Each structure stands twice: as structure tokens, then as C-alpha cells.
Structure 1
Amino acid sequence: MAEIGDAASLCYSFTVGKSRSGPWWHKVQGQLNEETFLSYNSSNNNYQVIGVRGNRLNATKICDKQVDTLKDGVDLFKEQVVHMKRENKTFREPLFLQARLCCWHEADGHFNGSWDFGLNGHKMIHVDSSTGEWTEVDPGSRWMKEMWEKNKDLTNFLSRISQEDCRAWLKEMIMSLLEEKLEPTASTTTTPHVDQPLSLAIKPNISVPLIILRCSLLLWSLGRILDNEG
């Protein structure tokens, strides 16, 4: 398991599909430093917190905010599958679209994000969210790239969630984990020091005469200053 201080990457994997006679289905997983903490699928249409890292996150505070946006992503990707089937008559069901969003901080602190898309397990397009550059991974993906680049609703969503939402989520989760990690240290400071070593136990008593001595010297010095001014 990666240390909390190294938690600098956040990814979400979307899969949406439909068979000829069956209903639409979807699955979304969230991963912090490649460790799954969130699962959302069509079987119960609700999210589940998974694993040790997921249980350490504040699910109500953090995951609730994410799921609404993730649902928007599922709906938008369903629309793209329907549109692709309409535009490309060679597609046969079952057909499923895969999308993977990742955002992370580079070693120098620079923030970056990307999207990767695939159809039926074949990688098709890579999108660099920082530069806005679209790259054809599969030689036959030009049609998909050209069609999606013209879709303003899609491109705006991809840019916003990768550059704004994902960045805010990553920051919030790191802060939540850091706070959770610091809690045991903070709690120990409130416990009574019953078995303190002698050298530590007598320090408060030694400080009292030192404070009195310092105050006396300060008053003496102030008196000398006032005498000289007089």
C-alpha cells in the first residue's frame, strides 16, 4: 500500500454497454494510487466503498460528491455508444465502451490529467487533458476521434472533470487521509502523563523560578532606563 504522502494519482474506470436483447449496464471504479476505494454499477445503481483505503475515507463527505458527476459520465458515454452505432452500421452487439480518467501530480508538483477510450477491449483514443491533444491509438480510430472532437458537450465534460473535478477530489482525499493519519498523534497529547521520567516531570517546577528571575531582571533594566531618562 502506498503511503498517504505519496497519494498523488486518482483514476476512474467507466464501462458501459448493451447486448441485443438485454438492458444497458455500467460499471465504474475509483482508484487512489491504483488501490480501489469506490465501486458503482448498474446492479444496485449505488456506490460502495471498498477496501481499507475506502473505509478510511469519509464516504458521505467525499464519495457522494463524486457519484453525481460519475453518473453524468455514464449517461454521456451511453449516448456516445448509441451515436456510434447509428453512424457506423458495422457495429454488432454486444458493444461496450471503456473510458479511463486519471489525474495526478508530477514529481515537480505540476498537475496533469488524461482520458483513454476503448471499444470492446481495443484501445482507441488517448486524450491529454492539459494540452487538449487527441491521439489515435488504434489505426482505425480516426472516425471516432473526428466525431468526438466535434461534440462540444463531450469535450467540455472531459475537460472539466479531468482538470477541475478530479483535481479537487484528489486534494480532498489526500487531506482526509492526512487528517486521519494525524488523529492518533493528536489524541496522545491529551492523555495524562502518569509515568513520566523524573527529568520530564520536574520541568514545569523548574520553569517557575526562571520566569520570576526573568521578570525581575526586566523590571530592574526598565528601572535603570527610567532613572537615566530622569
Structure 2
Amino acid sequence: MAAAASPANLLPLAILPHLLFDWSGTGRADAHSLWYNFTIIHLPRHGQRWCEVQSQVDQKNFLSYDCGSDKILSMGHLEEQLDATDAWGKQLEMLRDVGQRLRLELADTEKEDFPPSGPLTLQARMSCECEADGCIRGSWQFSFNGQKFLLFDSNNGKWTAVQDGARRLKEKWEKDSELTMFFKMVLRDCKSWLRYFLTHRKKRLEPTAPPTVAPGLAQPKAKATTLSPWSFLIILCFILPGI
């Protein structure tokens, strides 16, 4: 018959679910997401921003950024702590580059695929989502004047036309290997930032100092005592009477 498990043996089994729970590196088993919503206007009116980014982490406002003038419009408390980090500066640099690239693509698209009836607006959503199993997926969604046109999945590298009018643009962007690689590389950075932001948030929520004992409740430390050779001999005599 197998011997019953002792409490010491059961302890590792008791904490195993918690170890698996934290294995994703985020400290949570649910999904997380990081979104960057770009709004690009090719010919903006006076006083109108031609490039603006709204960002969300777990569907909560994360950052509002004017990528045309390189100005931060608003950000949350966590982002204020990240402001001085190297990753934060690289993030803003990426947002500026993406805004410039989307503006060039919008200008070419307006000439070829849309009649010049008015200023054309491009909405591009870059999203990175971390599933419960720790896998992170990245994708792009492109809309023109509020109508969804194209989707791009970085995992399989495929472009998808959402409506018939987007087939020509899909074929054009699909053949542009340099443009496809650009969107892939940016999504790769997006995945890294999602991990970084979640790790930083976890560290911020963890206690940074051990609990302190209230004054007056601390127990006095016992003073160390030393025995003389004669005292030690007397004790041995009581313990071992045959000596």
C-alpha cells in the first residue's frame, strides 16, 4: 500500500496551479491587448491634424499622440512612469514613422482608387492581442472614410479584401513586399511593447518593501548566553549520571 502523502509533499502540488498561472509572464491568465488607432488625412483643413494616434491597453485609454507635430496630447498614470524609459521613446519614433508611411500610401491611393470629391481619410488600426495561452497575434485593419477595406494578419502574412472595391488596392499592397515587411516589423515591435507594458504594470503592482512591524509590537531579541566550562560540565553530569 502506498504511504499517505505528508503535508510537506502536498505543498508543491498546492502551489503548482499558481506557478502555471504566472507562466505567461503577465501574472494573469486572461487575454490582453494593445491597440494603436491611426487617423491620417491627406489634405487637412486649417487647424486640423493630419496624423493622430489613439492607443489603448486592455481597451483602456493609453496614449493620445499627434504624430504630425510629435506632441503627446494625453496619457495615463502608467504611461507617465514609462515616459523616461528607452522603450517609450522608441514607441513614439515608430508612431511617427508609421504616420509618414501611411500618409504616402494615402496620397497614392487617393489618386488611383478614389475620385477627388474631397479629402480622403485613412483609419489604420494596429492591434496586438495576447491570448490566455500566452500566444500573441498581430494584425492591421485599414478603413477609408469610415469604410473597412483591408485586413492584414502578420501570423500568415495574408491580405484580405473586406469589400469588392478593395481588391485592386489589395493586389497593389500585396505585391509591395517592402510595404508588407514594414507592417510585419512594426507589429513585431507592438508585440514586444505589449509584453513590456504588462511586465512593468505587474512590477508596479507588486509590493516593493517587506511589511513593517508597528512600534511597540516588536519582540525584543533574546540575548545570546555563553556557558563557562564548569557550567557545561555540571550540565553533563545531570544528563549523563555515569560520568
With the shorter chain as reference, the TM-score category is 0.7 to 0.9
Say yes or no: does 1:12 pair with 2:12. Answer: no
Contact 2:139 / 2:153 at 8 angstroms: preserved in 1?
A: yes
Give, in whole Å, the separation in 1 of the partners of 2:101 and 2:69: 19
Q: How far has the Cα of 1:68 moved from its partner? A: 0.3
Asked whether 1:75 is paired with 2:97, we answer no
Q: How big is the shift at 1:36?
A: 1.4
Q: In the alignment, what sits opposite 2:205? A: 181
Distance 1:195-1:121 versus aligned 2 partners, 3 A rule:
farther
Change (3 A) 1:178 1:7: farther
2:120 aligns with 95
What is the CA–CA distance in structure 2 between the aligned matches of 1:128 and 1:71, rounded to whole Å? Answer: 22
When residues 83 and 196 of structure 1 are mapped into structure 2, their CA distance, relative to the original with a 3 A threshold, is: same
Q: Which residue of 2 aligns with 1:168?
A: 192
Structure 1 counterpart of 2:90:
65
Query: For 2:50, what is the secondary structure of its paired residue?
Result: strand
* Contact 1:118 1:125 (8 Å CA) reproduced: yes
Q: What is the alpha-carbon distance in structure 2 between the residues aligned to residue 33 and residue 8 of structure 1?
A: 5
> SS of the residue aligned with 1:28?
strand
Q: CA separation of 1:87/1:44 partners in 2, compared to 1, >3 Å: closer, same or farther? A: closer
Q: What are the within-5 Å matches in structure 2 for residues 124-163 of structure 1?
A: 124-162=149-187
Match of 1:86 among 107, 111, 123: 111
Report how far residue 48 of structure 1 moved: 3.9
Distance change >3 Å, CA 74–CA 43, structure 1 → 2? closer
Among residues 39, 45, 69, which one is paired with 2:70 in the alignment? 45
Q: Cα distance, 1:44 vs. partner?
A: 4.4
Identity fraction in percent: 30
Code of the aligned partner of 2:209: S
Alpha-carbon shift at residue 134 of structure 1 (Å)? 1.5
Residue in 1 that maps onto 2:20: none
Alignment counterpart, residue 112 of structure 1, candidates 137, 150, 157:
137
* Kept after mapping to 1: 8 A contact 2:67/2:96: no
- Residue segments in structure 1 that go unaligned for 5+ positions in a row: 210-230
**Per-residue displacement from partner, 1:7-43 (whole Å, max 9, x unpaired)?**
7211101110133765871101221111111111157
Separation in 1, partners of 2:191, 2:217: 45
The two structures, once aligned, show a CA RMSD in angstroms of: 2.7
Structure 1 pair 89–44 and aligned structure 2 pair: CA distance change class (3 A): closer
Whole-angstrom CA distance in 2 between matches of 1:167 and 1:89: 33
Work out the CA distance in 2 between the residues paired with 1:117 and 1:141: 10
Q: Deviations over 1:83-104 (max 9, x none)?
A: 1123235243211111001112
Larger helix percent: 1
Q: Which protein is bigger by CA-based radius of gyration?
A: 2
Match of 1:228? none
After TM superposition, give the deviation of residue 74 of structure 1 in Å.
0.3
Question: 1:216 matched to which residue of 2?
Answer: none
Give the 3 Å change call, closer, same or farther, for CA 92–175 of structure 1 in structure 2.
Answer: same
What SS does the aligned partner of 2:84 have? helix
What's the TM-score, normalizing by structure 1? Answer: 0.75
